[in-house]
């Protein structure tokens, strides 16, 4: 079997990328599901970690009595999903090359990334997430600032009052903008950092460029990912056990199709 190393064997610079098509999305989903069935261990562990993180969020917000923060965390949760699925990219990459997909092999590659570009992108996204929490609090204060922190799970005021509805509308819009920003930066940028010797700024720019220049298929992919993650979180986050690794594998295959087709042009 081929032995895949961390960064020394990666091609230098960003690859040429083809234009995505809707057919590529279907191929990515089916290939991602095959990868998950063939090598489910790492994906299940990543999914279980996210389920546990969801339970912790619920417990903390319930114990503090500030369930308003739970909504902010739920909006932020799918934004962090690409990073949780990063290891599944490596599983799919190794399967395509006939290399080992053992749990320890994947962890070695991920550990090697600590000195690369991924931590820089992670750090930037953490800053953006913190800003989202700050902005979400400001939106709450703008519309309901004269009232105590409302328990949105039990109070009808948030859903029925004009200010509450306006707050939800504004928060949903702003949260959607943040989620779209995360998506545009990560959808191609994250797998590119694993595949190529490239700095994180270049990966981000190329990723955003693919989304901007191909809005129909890339926004269709964004909608599919968002809906799938939302539905997966409904049954106590348990759906993430399957959906998160599946989408992780599929995301790698989408990038890989763009890379391979771009190399043939």
Reply yes or no on whether the pLDDT at 5 is more than 80.
Answer: no
Confidence at 251, pLDDT banded by 50, 70, 90: very high
More confident residue, 194 or 28: 28
- Average pLDDT on 7-24 reads 83
Encode pLDDT of 49-70 as tens digits.
Answer: 888 887 887 777 767 666 566 6
Confidence at 164, pLDDT banded by 50, 70, 90: confident
Burial of 56 (0-12, 13-18, 19+ CB in 10 A): exposed
What proportions of the chain, in percent to the nearest 5, are helix, strand and coil?
A: 80, 0, 20
pLDDT at 212: 95
Report DSSP state, residue 197.
Answer: B
pTM of the model: 0.82
Share of the chain above pLDDT 90, in %: 33
Beta bridge partners of 197: 12
């Amino acid at each position: 079997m081929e032995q895949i190393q961390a960064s020394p064997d990666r091609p230098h610079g960003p690859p040429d990328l083809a234009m995505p098509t809707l057919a590529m999305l279907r191929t990515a989903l089916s290939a991602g599901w095959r990868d998950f069935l063939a090598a489910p261990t790492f994906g299940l562990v990543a999914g279980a970690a996210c389920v546990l993180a969801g339970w912790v969020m619920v417990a903390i917000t319930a114990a503090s009595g500030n369930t308003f923060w739970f909504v902010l965390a739920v909006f932020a949760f799918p934004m962090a999903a690409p990073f949780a699925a990063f290891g599944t990219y490596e599983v799919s990459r190794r399967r395509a090359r006939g290399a080992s997909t053992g749990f320890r092999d994947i962890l070695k590659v991920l550990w090697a990334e600590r000195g690369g570009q991924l931590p820089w992108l992670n750090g930037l996204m953490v800053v953006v997430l913190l800003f989202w929490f700050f902005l979400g609090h400001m939106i709450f204060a703008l519309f309901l600032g004269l009232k105590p922190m409302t328990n949105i799970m039990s109070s009808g005021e948030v859903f029925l009052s004009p200010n509450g509805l306006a707050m939800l509308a504004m928060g949903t819009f702003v949260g959607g903008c943040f989620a779209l920003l995360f998506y545009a930066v990560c959808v191609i940028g994250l797998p590119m950092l694993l595949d190529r010797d490239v700095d994180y700024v270049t990966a981000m720019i190329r990723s955003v460029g693919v989304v901007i220049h191909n809005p129909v298929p890339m926004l269709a992919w964004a909608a599919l990912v968002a809906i799938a993650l939302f539905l997966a979180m409904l049954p106590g986050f348990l759906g993430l056990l399957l959906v998160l690794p599946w989408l992780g594998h599929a995301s790698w295959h989408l990038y890989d199709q763009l890379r391979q087709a771009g190399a043939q042009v």
